[in-house]
Amino acid sequence: MRLLFLGDVVGRSGRVAVVSQLPMLRDRYKLDFIIVNGENAAGGFGINEKIANEFFDAGADVITTGNHAFDQRETLSHIGREDRLLRPANYPEGTPGKGAGLFTAQNGTQVLVVNLMGRVFMQELDCPFQRISRELEACPMGAAADIVFVDMHAEASSEKQAMGYFLDGKVSAVVGTHTHVPTADDRILPQGTAYMSDAGMCGVYDSILGMEKDEPVNRFVTRVNGGRFAPVTGEAAISGVVIHIDQATGLAKNICPLRLGPDIRQMEPDF
């Protein structure tokens, strides 16, 4: 089975790139399942129902989020009606929506997708390690689920790596999001779990994390908030990973970055 995961989609440019290319990517790489992190898709902050439906119509099977999950107020009601839109599972009890779901891939494989959020340099949520343990007790790989994918939305690479080794052999893949910068550590961990610290972003890379450069630079230089962050417009690149998974075991056979578009080194799977 082949699974595609795309990192944080930033603004309109990122949306256009993803929506226009997903059908082609599904055909080119014979993808069975597609997950997109859409938490920065609406003007750089959150996601709304219209945008979510654009991703689903283009071929996304599931949308994950992170610390900007509820930046768009309508998400509070939308996420309760759309099981394919996830927020971090370790949000407090009573938060609208779900942090995990069991979905059927095009080839009939049962895929458990879990969205987690780290706590280092981020909001103080429930423990993501305890939360994923409960999710796997309820839906273990090899029993209720054939494949388990974890989006670890976190700031610290050490926390993401800890999650990777904590889950090694128990899930198919752990891939990080949030920093918008693709890392070079894609690999298969010793017990068979695919891992990468950050999938990168789908957005304009001639930017600061997908945003116009002047305001972020101003804040670092002057320590003064001079205005809002605004996503860069223009031709965007897409960034993520393609993972080849053994359906018999749920463990990964290969993982390779996918990076297409301007201002980023081009990379495509060779399997």
Which positions are annotated as active-site residues? Answer: 68
Under 8 Å CB-to-CB from 195, ≥6 apart: which residues?
Answer: 161, 164, 168, 173, 174, 175, 185, 186, 187, 188, 189, 255
Chain centroid, CA 17 distance in Å:
16
**H helical segments located in the chain:** 11-28, 49-58, 75-81, 128-138, 157-167, 214-222
Pairing of strands 33-37, 2-6: parallel
Q: Could you tell me if residue 23 is left (phi over 0), alpha (psi between -120 and 50 degrees) or otherwise beta?
A: alpha
Contact indicator for 168, 189 with CB cutoff of 8 Å = yes
- The token duo for 120 is 């280092």
The DSSP string of 175-232 is EEESS-S--S--EE-TTS-EEES---EEB-SSSBTTB-SHHHHHHHHH----S---BP
Nearest to 113 by CA among 76, 74, 141: 141
